[in-house]
């Protein structure tokens, strides 16, 4: 029985979103943002030479139609294409989002068949950013007299700025971004990791009532001048308000495996088994599932480090290195797919490391399907990805 592997390359957008002018980084619209295209162009111009060199080399993604998808997404402007516009070896297309967000839940929910049915709540770019009653509630739940931060901020910058005050006072560092998020940073040792997770879990329902998409625990370690975030991040997301792809698969009596932060994004709805870790560890888990996932199953994976380590930090060389590593590793797994299996490679939004600011960018995303021959899928919607997977597995979709 056929299996399906749905793999999200977090933030690997390919430009061309028709409504990009309605989304902003600061006061600059996302019009013209193109995560992959601009990385390719920077590599070709010798502007991404840290830890790598030359043109971006992603032969496995290219043979599946990556440059063709980007050309389609941007109306013919393939950006920094490596000139490798060979005939794709699988079905390919470019997907456009309709949900009014450029964030993780919006993208993933819609890829799973459920566009977001409401407008997310966003906090103003001001200081304080949060309503006084919310800040007081968080402090009460933390058992402190107040909070630190209360603003829009880069996560790495704010722990550098406020980490020592946090260690001395015990007050949690609370901040947000252009996404619908409420983030709480705390020191794993002086504040306590479990205490931070308990705090986020306690305040999440109140934030969810406000239609804030996620409360994110951001633990860190170290000493003044050398604070660093750990891998123990956890997202407390709103539960999807309706059935999604994983529910459809389970309703048909099939098994669903989640790899990466899929469990957090969907509040574990429709998931039988969860595998976590950094991207290198997750690639190993995905490889194990290519070998051992049961017949008829769905594996839904997210590789977040494109976004978290390189996109938000505007690190073009790092993003290029991650793409080349991912391409080499995913190529090995594609070659191990069983007869009848498909692997769908896509993304949830953009995060152009050449763009202004540090936030996501509104872009179309690639849809590359290994194991399914053409013809081209064309311009499709995010939710069409869920329909494609459901159809392949022979399960009913809502």
| Strand extents, DSSP E, the chain | 4-9, 24-25, 28-29, 91-96, 148-152, 173-176, 181-187, 214-223, 226-229, 234-237, 256-259, 273-275, 298-303, 342-346, 365-370, 378-381
Per-residue pLDDT of the chain (398 residues; tens, 9 = 90+): 899 999 999 999 999 999 999 999 989 999 999 999 999 999 999 999 999 999 999 999 999 999 999 999 999 854 444 555 578 988 999 999 999 999 999 999 999 999 999 999 999 999 999 999 999 999 999 999 999 999 999 999 999 999 999 999 999 999 999 899 999 999 999 999 999 999 999 999 999 999 999 999 999 999 999 999 998 999 999 999 999 999 999 999 999 999 999 999 999 999 999 999 999 999 999 999 999 999 999 999 999 999 999 999 999 999 999 999 999 999 999 999 999 999 999 999 999 999 999 999 999 999 999 999 877 999 999 999 999 999 999 999 97
103 Cβ neighbours under 8 A, 6+ residues apart:
120, 179, 180, 181, 213, 349, 360
Around 27, how many Cα atoms within 13 Å sit in the side-chain half-sphere? 0
- Contacts (Cβ under 8 Å, ≥6 apart) of 87: none
Burial 317-337 (b: 16+ CB within 10 A, else e): bbbbbbbbebbebbbebbeee
Distances (CA, A) of 102 to 143, 179, 188, 284, 316: 34, 7, 30, 29, 20
Handedness of CA 260, 262, 105, 249 (dihedral sign): positive
Distance CA 2, CA 369 (A): 14
Q: Pick from 158, 17, 165, 23: which is nearest to 94 by CA?
A: 17
Residues 173/147, Cβ–Cβ less than 8 Å? yes
Instruction: Give dist(CA 282, CA 299) in Å, integer.
Output: 12
Cα four-point dihedral sign 149, 152, 158, 159: positive
Alpha carbons 369 and 378: distance in angstroms, whole number = 13
**CA atoms of 216 and 301, how far apart (whole Å):** 19
- Residue-wise DSSP of 82-118: -S--PPPSSEEEEEE--SS--SHHHHHHHHTT----S
- Output the pTM of the full model: 0.93
User: Whole-angstrom Cα distance, residue 55 to residue 68?
Assistant: 17
- Cβ atoms of 190 and 223 within 8 Å: the answer is no
Nearest to 261 by CA among 208, 221, 195, 217: 217
Handedness of CA 130, 261, 111, 266 (dihedral sign): negative
**Cα 347 to chain center, whole Å?**
7
Provide the pLDDT for residue 80.
46
């Amino acid at each position: 029985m056929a299996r399906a592997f749905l793999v999200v390359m977090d933030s690997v957008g390919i430009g061309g979103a028709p409504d990009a002018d309605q989304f902003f980084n600061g006061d600059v619209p996302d019009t013209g943002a193109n995560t992959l295209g601009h990385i390719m162009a920077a590599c070709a111009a010798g502007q991404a030479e840290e830890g790598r060199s030359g043109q971006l080399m992603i032969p496995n993604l290219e043979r599946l139609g990556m440059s063709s998808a980007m050309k389609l997404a941007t109306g013919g402007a393939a950006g920094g294409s490596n000139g490798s516009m060979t005939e794709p070896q699988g079905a390919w297309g470019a997907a456009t989002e309709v949900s009014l967000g450029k964030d993780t839940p919006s993208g993933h929910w819609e890829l799973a068949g459920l566009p977001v049915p409401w407008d997310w709540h966003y906090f103003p770019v001001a200081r304080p950013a949060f309503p006084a009653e919310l800040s007081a509630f968080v402090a009460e739940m933390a058992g402190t007299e107040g909070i630190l931060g209360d603003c829009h901020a880069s996560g790495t910058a704010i722990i550098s700025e406020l980490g020592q005050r946090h260690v001395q006072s015990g007050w949690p560092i609370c901040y947000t971004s252009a996404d619908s998020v409420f983030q709480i940073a705390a020191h794993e040792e002086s504040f306590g990791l479990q205490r931070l997770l308990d705090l986020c879990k306690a305040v999440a329902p109140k934030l969810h009532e406000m239609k804030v998409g996620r409360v994110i625990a951001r633990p860190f370690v170290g000493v003044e001048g050398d604070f660093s975030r750990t891998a123990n991040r956890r997202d407390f997301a709103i539960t999807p308000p309706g059935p999604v792809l994983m529910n459809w698969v389970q309703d048909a009596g099939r098994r669903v495996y989640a790899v990466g932060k899929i469990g957090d994004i969907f509040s574990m709805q429709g998931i039988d088994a969860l595998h976590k870790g950094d991207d290198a560890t997750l690639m190993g888990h995905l490889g194990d599932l290519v070998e051992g996932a049961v017949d008829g199953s769905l594996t839904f994976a997210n590789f977040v480090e494109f976004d978290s380590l390189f996109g938000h930090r505007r690190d073009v060389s790092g993003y290029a290195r991650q793409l080349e590593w991912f391409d080499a590793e995913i190529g090995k797994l594609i070659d191990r797919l069983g007869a009848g299996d498909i692997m769908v490679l896509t993304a949830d939004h953009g995060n152009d490391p050449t763009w202004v600011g540090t936030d996501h960018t509104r872009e179309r995303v690639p849809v590359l399907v290994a194991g399914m021959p053409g013809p081209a899928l064309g311009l499709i919607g995010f939710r069409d990805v869920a329909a494609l997977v459901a159809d392949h597995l022979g399960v009913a979709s809502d």
